[in-house]
Amino acid sequence: MDFAAAVSTVATAVGIVKDLRGIEQGLDKAEMKARLAEILSTLADVKMALIEAQEESREKEAEIERLRGSFALKEKTIRFNGFSMLAFEDGTPRGMPFCPRCETVDGVLIHLADARGSDCLCPQCKATYSRVPRYLWER
């Protein structure tokens, strides 16, 4: 349930309370109890909806933070032989390139890792690449 559904459920609860106020004198004790139980059940639904919405909101905040970090890192990259790479201050490529698939599809920068032979493997999406430029991390 999202925020819109939670708001709709609250509106339902408010509607029930308004109905009760309008007809409270005509209700017997059992009817009043039934209506109160209905309100409590609706409010419990609202509570669950808000907890779920809060969790969704936290996940979205974490995703925004991850993307911000990725954008900040992307500003430090250069293009080299078709790959995005980190660079030393003089513009020389540094270390392993980033996975082109993860960069394009997911918007994240994941360093490739050495795989068997001359191939490289993305530890995130498991894509493999050949003829990958490799440079020193430090010098």
Contact set with Zn ion (CB under 5 A): 99, 101-102, 122, 124-125
Min separation Cβ 126 and Zn ion, Å: 7
Min separation Cβ 79 and Zn ion, Å: 17
CA neighbor of 131 nearest in space, from 115, 116, 122, 120: 120
**Contact by Cβ (8 Å): 111, 97:** yes
Q: Which residue type, as a one-letter code, is found at position 9?
A: T
* Residue whose CB is less far from Zn ion, 49 or 120: 120
CA neighbor of 99 nearest in space, from 127, 67, 68: 127
Q: DSSP letter at 91?
A: S
* Residue whose CB is less far from Zn ion, 15 or 69: 69
* Residue whose CB is less far from Zn ion, 20 or 115: 115
CA end-to-end span of the chain: 53
